[in-house]
Amino acid sequence: MDDLLVEIRELFAAPLEETRLADFSTRLQAEYKTSLLASRQSMLPSYQHTLPTGNEHGDFLALDAGGSTFRIALIRLAEKKHDGDGMEVRRVRSFCIDETVRKLSGTELFDWFASRIGEMLAEYNHMSGTTDAHLQMGLAWSFPIEQTSLRTGRLLAMGKGFRAAHELEGKDLGDLIMNACHARGLNVDLRAIVNDSSATLLSQAYRDPSTCMSLILGTGVNAAAFLPTTALGADKFGERPASWHAAAKRVVVNTELSMFGRHVLPTTRWDEDLNAQHLLPDYQPLEYLATGMYLGEIVRLILLEAIPTAGLFDGQIPDHFDTPYALETRILAALESDDTPELRDARAAFLSAHPLRSAPKRRDLEFMRAVARLVSRRAAAYLATALHALWAVRTSAEGVRAEDSSAVTIACDGSMVEKYPGFRQRMQKHLDALCVVSGAKEGAVVLQVVPESSILGAAVAASCND
């Protein structure tokens, strides 16, 4: 077991030397620049060409549609100079999107959305002592669309078993929502549609004008960046009105960061096994190496090798352990955070999901923890490198030298940055080191956690869409 751990440590830790990460960043920058010019899958410009000033104000309905939950919030924006950070969540409600909702056909799904919107609008009228208040809405839509304006976009397949999307593919998402709301007599107006990475950027930019990038890091990963329009190829913008081009000097770009790094970031045999067995091999290489969906699977593959070859668990395969993705990343987090004698908490968390005929020995748990640490630390380093490369591309596009660049905030949301022990701090440490190598100061790029960013960002998007 010790010999195998030496090999694992070499494979996972060796690529994390500062000079190697700097080289990876340089190569990723080249990938980004190529995609900014021509890719149809990544570096996608939104229609959002301004960031909030922090002076936007009013009451808004914020909608957040995800794969399992539909959330609606009443958000009050008050000019931040008068009232702290200027954001107040007055009401928020969550509705489960279960199998019954996913099977709704045609416009029935949007009728269901409108019904929930109507319930929240009724609450607002009651709170405000009004009978027919008019509210503007912003929508954070966690599914692909072909956006055609700030408030419109053609519906694409939603996945996750949603029947309606297949029947309505190509229809305008904004029209579908507004038609359902009008049918119920709701006095609302959809002003903006944003994806989760854009919403995260907007929500923190309202508070902090140094925010020009964002990171979503949970089961998957994505990032957005506010870039000069000159950094993108002309064909990337498709058909947009001349008025948009006249006004847009910069634009929020959905990077689809998960798609980069296949030919840059070193992998191990376990990573290659995961990729080969994936339904979409090579499609999202950074995501397969570094996110909550996959860290547990990488560790599971390593442990499956260690059971017969190194005597882990005395050769026993834990229950359910031969099922792909059975080892959840939350168990890795439990292993890394456990400071109890005999790793009691980690043992309990593991055995609750994967019983063994005989309890694991301390050396088994210590081996598991060491592997979890190596896998998660590599993930943090690779993600920091990808963000550093994006920062460097943005700095270059702005015509600013790294050493002369102003401090930049990256707004962050997602379970990995919020909950995984030490993960964000390790990312920050690598970012600091890479910035220094680039000639900038330590702290030139700061990761700022922004809870509830999707719902707040939807409201901000509505507020700054004229």
Q: What number does CATH give the domain 47-194?
A: 3.30.420.40
How many percent of the chain have pLDDT more than 90? 88
- Alpha-carbon separation of residue 356 from 107, 134, 186, 224, 318 (angstroms): 49, 59, 56, 44, 5
pLDDT of residue 80: 60
Architecture of the 1-46+208-452 domain: 3-Layer(aba) Sandwich (3.40)
Question: What are 398-457's pLDDT values in tens digits?
Answer: 999 999 999 999 999 999 999 999 999 999 999 999 999 999 999 999 999 998 899 999
pLDDT of residue 144: 81
- Residue 66 predicted with pLDDT over 90: no
Give 171's contacts (C-beta < 8 A, 6+ positions apart): 154, 155
* Reported confidence tier of residue 310, pLDDT bands at 50, 70, 90: very high
Is this prediction's pTM over 0.85? yes
pLDDT of residue 466: 56
62 contacts 140 by C-beta, under 8 angstroms? yes
3-state secondary structure of 408: strand
Q: 464 or 271: whose pLDDT is higher? A: 271
How many percent of the chain have pLDDT more than 70? 98
CA 375 from centroid of its chain's CA atoms: 19
Question: What are 286-301's pLDDT values in tens digits?
Answer: 999 999 999 999 999 9
Reading the block at residue 426, the tokens are 């390790």
What are the extents of the domains in the chain? 1-46+208-452, 47-194
Distance separating alpha carbons of residues 80 and 203, to the nearest angstrom: 12
Q: What is the mean pLDDT of residues 101-106?
A: 92
- Residue 153 predicted with pLDDT over 80: yes
Least confident window among 36-45, 118-127, 141-150, 239-248? 141-150
pLDDT of residue 464: 86
Buried b or exposed e, range 321-353, using 16+ CB within 10 angstroms: beeeebbbbebbbbbbbbeeeebeebbebbeee
Q: Where are the alpha helices (H) located in 338-450, listed in sequence order?
A: 344-353, 362-397, 415-419, 423-437
Average model confidence (pLDDT) across the chain: 94
pLDDT of residue 83: 47
pLDDT of residue 84: 55
Q: 145 or 255: whose pLDDT is higher? A: 255
Please count the other Cβ atoms lying within 10 Å of the Cβ belonging to residue 81.
Answer: 9
* Paired residues of 93 in beta bridges: 72
pLDDT of residue 78: 87
pLDDT of residue 158: 81
